[in-house]
Chains A and B, each alone.
Chain A
Amino acid sequence: METEFDVIVIGAGPAGAAAAVEAAARGLKVLVVDENAAGGGQVYRASAIGKEEKGPGKDLRRALAESGATVVFNRRCWLIEPGFRVHCTAPDRNELYHAPALIVAAGARERVVPVPGWTLPGVIGLAAATALIKAQKVLPGRRVVVAGRGPLLPYVAYMIVKNGGEVAALIDRNGPQDWLSKSLDVAARPGLALEGAGWIAALIRARVPSYFRSAVSRVRGDGEAEGVDIVGLDKNGNVRTQTKSIGCDAVCMGDGLAPSVEITQLLKADHVFDAVQGGWRVTADPWGRTSTANLYACGDGTGIKGAAAAPFAGRIAAIAAASDLGRLSKKDAEKAIASLSRQHDRASRFGAAMTALTAPDVRGLSLIGEDTVVCRCEGVTRRDIVSAVQRGAQSVNAIKSATRCGMGPCGARMCGDVTAALLSAEMNKPLAEIAPMTPRPPLKPVNLEPMMAEFSYSDIPMPEPAPL
């Protein structure tokens, strides 16, 4: 197996796949690494069952397969060292790849603001629900409550209805006027606007009860989700009224997407807090270059702009890499990027407007109970976190040390944002001034068996022992 490449692309979603296709077309030797079984990312996740349906996902997978790029799937990338050395595990072994340029297209992660009962079986994230439905054709439940914020809300409800499920309620923290305020940006992508209108029409036809400017205040159930309590919110997000309880057997809830920045953080690129683009994101210049030499970023890691903009960003990063590696003249690169940038900016408008509907904030914290688990890996409650702050913790790192919050296998992906928001509220400091937890490798938990593979004792390179 070849291990030396000109450029390695992390992630085969819309940004990464486009970057790989473009880089290969420019004559670069390209490797794409992805942890899934097929390309497409979350948005165009391939079905594991039945025949592939027509659409952008199928097109992406075909283009990637025909691009000439080497693609390895089912790889868990656990460490990337400067220069760049990409360590990943296949199911049965460790692999090490090397390239002088790295394009990170790691996508986004889901943000869920906890409420009492959110850890009950039957409660999953909105993005998780889309993965379940797309890949496995399985519905989260028979009678599902869909709650939270942003475009995934109507989309998940639509997918459930379309696949024969019942949506017990659609509960939106935003009000109709919040959505309307984005109508100009929505109109910029008539295709996507029509698609969204189609979802809404389907929900109306199915008589799905909708609650605007409302939230789930509690998931009820004995050992599993059996229903939710709904509250009305005022314009500051505070609880205004107790509305009603609704029975269900599953809850899909989410508060939007946040950029995946673990790789760019570990490679010491600059990041900035940008609420309307999902929170902490890597900064990249118009060519997709981060502040770390030869490290490029594209797609949702640079701010949640959505699947329409991602391919343009991917292609821009690939052209920039080709130019920086001396494989494309600067003039040709400038010309190609100028045109792609215009298309990228147009396509970004829709996604960015949708992301603004889910900007991380301290609203919603009022629904987290004292005893509600915030860090579900380690069972750390809101009370534990607040108590740590009162005992002198001034950073999320100090909260982590004091409580184990964020020390579990998810690496604070689930709890990091909420912990920062709680600290921000407790210290009366803006969210942008709360530094995220110090990132630590491995990027995701890695099985020691494939990582170590076979070795003999005499092969372990022992340095000199410490002085006596």
Chain B
Amino acid sequence: MTAGDYDLIVVGGGIMGASAALRASHGGMRVKLLEALEIGSGASGVNAGTLSLQIKRVKLMPYALAGHALWERAGDAVGYRRTGGLTLAFTDQEAELLEHRMTLKKEAGAPIDFVGKNFIREKAPALTDAVVAASWCESDGYANSSLTGVYYRALLREAGVDYSEFSPVTGIDPSRDGGFSVQTGSARIAGKRLLLASGFGLQETMAMLGVDIPVRVRINTVSVTERGPKLLDCIVGHATGLLTMKQKTNGTVLIGGGWQGVRDAETGRGEVRADTLNPNLQLAQYAAPGLSSFRLVRTWTGFEANVSDFYPLAGRLPGYDNAFVLGCVRGGYTIGPYIGQLMGDLILGRVPEKPLFDPERLIDTTYATSGERLGT
């Protein structure tokens, strides 16, 4: 076989890589998926699991709505719960921010309403009465990101996608026939097409094919308490986006909001820092004072990748016909399963039902060579 053993090689087994692999496989392609660690063990498996339209970017709202529907369909297998969500403002300035942002998100299609104190008291009596303004989104909820790995492993097996865990990719070479040869461990794997979906590692992976797009990494802190008495029925957020909070059915409270830990230069691992963990927990406790009787049981970080304009990398890898890139989706947990499907469609040669986000926009054309296309 000249053009390789596989129709598609996917680098990265997070939600996006797995979802695209599944779509391509269902479309008849023979797919190989390589994951450096474990399926769904990166940001896909350690994020706070918040499914809130109130913290999605306006331009991404249609994708978030569709992603939300996919998680709802996955149901118990991913611990999906539709609880509704409150977003709170505690100062006049925050109230202004809330009104401005939620109005735009509502116009973009999210079913968001502004609500008063009586509504809050009824929906979430444990919340502080220091709320100045609030919004409510009926369709908000959460899923359990810990189950991402189990969920996608089962689907990949069922679809016959050949996946390998603990298989970091150390080199990629374009082959003369337009395909690719991928090095992992001592193995070389050949495929006609390639999808790079390696999350925060995307910059490094794209560089293996000579594409230079800076990818920044946010080190988001997430915390969980011990099981405690009933505190919250719905998910709770903050006007600035700096708090997400939910009480799971088992009584544990999960707290996030994108407070930044640090990344250890030597090990590459994320680390929690007290000077950002503490204010994150303070904000949570300010919103729900009853939280003070809980015990913090675990806190960790997840890596969220983004590019300079904070919009997704989703399209053909600049300079290549048969290589694709997917990642850097703000709100990637919510949107991931859906944008993965769109990417799968693009790879299958179909027209995706919603436009993707061509990475070409991030290539500095001033310095580009004379349009020479590699690997074609």
Interface locus among B14-22, B23-31, B288-296? B288-296
A448 CA to B283 CA, complexed, in Å:
12
Whether A268 contacts B157 by the Cβ 8 Å rule is no
Q: A442-B299, A446-B296, A448-B292 are in contact. Are A455 and B153 (CB under 8 A)?
A: no
Q: A79-B274, A451-B281, A465-B97 are in contact. Are A409 and B297 (CB under 8 A)?
A: yes
- B-contact 0/1 string along A370-406, CB 8 Å cutoff: 0000000000000000001001111101101110100
Complex interface residues of chain A between 447 and 468 (CB less than 8 A to chain B): 447-449, 451-452, 455, 457, 460-463, 465-468
The 8 Å CB contact of B130, one of A407, A457, A467, is: A457
Q: A398-B149, A401-B45, A452-B292 are in contact. Are A468 and B299 (CB under 8 A)?
A: no
Number of B residues, CB within 8 Å of A:
61
Interface locus among B62-70, B119-127, B265-273, B337-345? B265-273
The 8 Å CB contact of B274, one of A81, A393, A397, A407, is: A81
Whether A448 contacts B291 by the Cβ 8 Å rule is yes
A277 CA to B147 CA, complexed, in Å:
35
Whether A468 contacts B153 by the Cβ 8 Å rule is no
Main secondary structure of the interface of A (DSSP, over half): loop
Whether B38 contacts A395 by the Cβ 8 Å rule is yes
Whether A460 contacts B286 by the Cβ 8 Å rule is yes
A466 CA to B257 CA, complexed, in Å:
10
Complex interface residues of chain B between 242 and 273 (CB less than 8 A to chain A): 242, 258-260, 264, 266-267, 269, 271-273
CB neighbours of A27 from chain B (8 A): none
Whether B282 contacts A467 by the Cβ 8 Å rule is no
A449 CA to B278 CA, complexed, in Å:
12
CB neighbours of A447 from chain B (8 A): 295
Whether B38 contacts A409 by the Cβ 8 Å rule is no
Complex interface residues of chain A between 47 and 104 (CB less than 8 A to chain B): 78-79, 81, 85, 87, 96
CB neighbours of B45 from chain A (8 A): 401
Whether B274 contacts A87 by the Cβ 8 Å rule is yes
Whether A407 contacts B292 by the Cβ 8 Å rule is no
Main secondary structure of the interface of B (DSSP, over half): mixed
Whether B285 contacts A452 by the Cβ 8 Å rule is yes
Closest CB in chain A relative to B341 CB, distance in Å: 22
A188 CA to B226 CA, complexed, in Å:
47
Whether B296 contacts A409 by the Cβ 8 Å rule is no
Whether A448 contacts B285 by the Cβ 8 Å rule is yes
CB neighbours of A407 from chain B (8 A): 297-298
The 8 Å CB contact of A79, one of B154, B225, B272, B294, is: B272
CB neighbours of A393 from chain B (8 A): 149-150
Complex interface residues of chain B between 7 and 54 (CB less than 8 A to chain A): 38-41, 45
Is the CB of A408 closer than 8 A to any CB of chain B?
Answer: yes
Is the CB of B201 closer than 8 A to any CB of chain A?
Answer: no
CB neighbours of A408 from chain B (8 A): 226, 297
Is the CB of B58 closer than 8 A to any CB of chain A?
Answer: yes
Whether B274 contacts A392 by the Cβ 8 Å rule is no
Whether B296 contacts A466 by the Cβ 8 Å rule is no
Is the CB of A441 closer than 8 A to any CB of chain B?
Answer: yes
List, sorted by A's number, 23 A–B pairs whose CB atoms are closer than 8 Å: A85-B274, A96-B274, A268-B269, A393-B149, A394-B165, A395-B38, A400-B146, A401-B40, A401-B41, A401-B149, A408-B297, A409-B226, A445-B226, A447-B295, A448-B281, A449-B293, A455-B282, A457-B90, A460-B283, A462-B279, A465-B239, A465-B241, A466-B330
10 closest cross-chain pairs (CB), A and B: A465-B240, A445-B295, A392-B153, A449-B292, A401-B146, A402-B150, A466-B241, A445-B297, A440-B298, A460-B279
Q: Which residues of A are interface residues toward B (Cβ below 8 A)?
A: 78-79, 81, 85, 87, 96, 268, 388, 391-395, 397-398, 400-402, 404, 407-409, 411, 440-442, 445-449, 451-452, 455, 457, 460-463, 465-468
